[in-house]
């Protein structure tokens, strides 16, 4: 999530974004027990938040596939 807005609202947005991806994958047939969703809010930017392009890159989701 970019740094526009309060830290609290960005954390909520990030949590909701992560949950939406998880919910979609469950609807596609992935076992919920194989998934963990975590929102990082403003904690892990991949780009500078000073530009629109950088902020766009920070509004993202990342996934790691694991075998349990």
The ranges assigned to domains in the chain are: 7-29+36-58
The mean of the pLDDT values for the chain is 92
pLDDT exceeds 70 at position 68: no
pLDDT computed for residue 17 by the predictor = 94
Q: What is the pLDDT of residue 24?
A: 97
**What b/e readout covers 47-65, taking b as 16+ CB neighbours within 10 angstroms?**
eeeeeeeebeebeeeeeee
Listed in sequence order, the DSSP H helices in the chain are 7-27, 52-58
**Mean pLDDT in residue range 6-29:** 95
**pTM for this entry:** 0.82
Return the pLDDT at 65. Answer: 74
């Amino acid at each position: 999530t970019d740094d526009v807005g309060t830290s609290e609202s960005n954390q909520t947005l990030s949590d909701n974004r992560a949950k939406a991806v998880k919910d979609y994958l469950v609807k596609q047939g992935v076992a919920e027990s194989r998934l963990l969703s975590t929102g990082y809010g403003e904690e892990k930017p991949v780009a500078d938040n000073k530009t629109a392009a950088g902020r766009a890159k920070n509004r993202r989701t990342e996934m790691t596939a694991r075998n349990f």
